[in-house]
Amino acid sequence: MSITMYTYPKCGTCRKAKKWFDDQGVAIQEIHIVENPPNKEELKKVKELSGLEWKKFFNTSGQKYRELGLKEKLPTASEEEILDLLSSDGMLIKRPLVTDGSSVTVGFKEEEFQSTWG
């Protein structure tokens, strides 16, 4: 099972998630989410696998989210508009985004990591 984790090195939550994987002895492939954000196809796939709504994929506490006024725009945005936003700027994506091609977690909650990746 190959696990891919989209991370931002300065993100404390990403560091906690990486440490969790290290502590479990699980090797992961880390991808810098700002330098290499997931493309539209990857985003569609992780959303489908996760069963989550699009809003859960946004870093709602991020500066960029607020600057763009996405709280007001997202409820009426089309899937294509959402994919354009997320694929164009990794800082808009809630992190870490972790997938192995069949499971997905967004953000880091130890209990969720344990049940999904443990």
pLDDT at 35: 97
Please count the other Cβ atoms lying within 10 Å of the Cβ belonging to residue 108.
22
Residue 77 has pLDDT above 70, yes or no: yes
Q: What is the Cα 78 distance to its own chain's centre?
A: 19
Tell me the pTM: 0.94
| Domains, the chain, ordered by start | 3-117 (3.40.30.10)
pLDDT at 1: 61
Chain mean pLDDT for the chain:
96
The CA distance from 68 to 12, in Å, is 24
